[in-house]
Amino acid sequence: MRFKKKKRKITTGSSPGEKFVAQLDRGVKVNTEQLAEMMVTSSTVSKGDMLNSIDSLITQMFYVLQLGHSVKLRGFGTFYVKTKVKAVNTLEEVTADTVERITIGFIPEVEIRDRMKKISITIEASEEEEEVVPNP
């Protein structure tokens, strides 16, 4: 996993000011087509069948999530519905309008979390460091 050194202005905490941080280089987004192509190389399923399987998985996961249930993918983690709701003083005030936000959360399986902790990290030079040329 690649990170780059970046300068950031920190405004909170005990010592605000110009600081340096390691910022994740997110690279490119892998889309459904690319993911299907990668999966086909390690299976006997055609790319079209793989795309249909992925589409069906997404459709069924959304169906289950919109019912308020969670979806656990063995070896990966659990997707669940997250909500933000407004507190009110009486039962009568609780309406659909008091549900402020509905999103999807994810909790990775312990094995996935452990594997992420062991990933190799490289820190690349910042643009400032690349501009500095040492004297011969």
In a domain, 61, yes or no: yes
Does the residue 90 lie in any domain?
no
- What is the predicted pLDDT for the residue at 78? 98
**pLDDT at residue number 125:** 83
User: For residue 130, what pLDDT band results from cuts at 50, 70 and 90?
Assistant: low
| Helix or strand run (H / E) with residue 85 | strand 77-85
Domain limits for position 54: 31-68
Six-digit token string for 102:
């509905």
99, β-bridge pairs: 85
pLDDT digits (tens, 9 = 90+) for 77-87: 999 999 999 99
Number of helices (H) and strands (E), helices first, in the chain? 4, 6
Q: What is the total count of domains within the chain?
A: 1
Q: Are the CB atoms for 18 and 7 separated by under 8 Å?
A: yes
pLDDT per position as a tens digit, 39-79: 999 999 999 999 999 999 999 999 999 999 999 999 999 99
38 lies in some domain:
yes
In a domain, 52, yes or no: yes
Q: Give residue 136's pLDDT band: very low, low, confident or very high (50, 70, 90).
A: low
C-alpha distances in angstroms, 11 versus 7, 15, 18, 21? 13, 8, 9, 14
Q: Within a domain: residue 51? A: yes
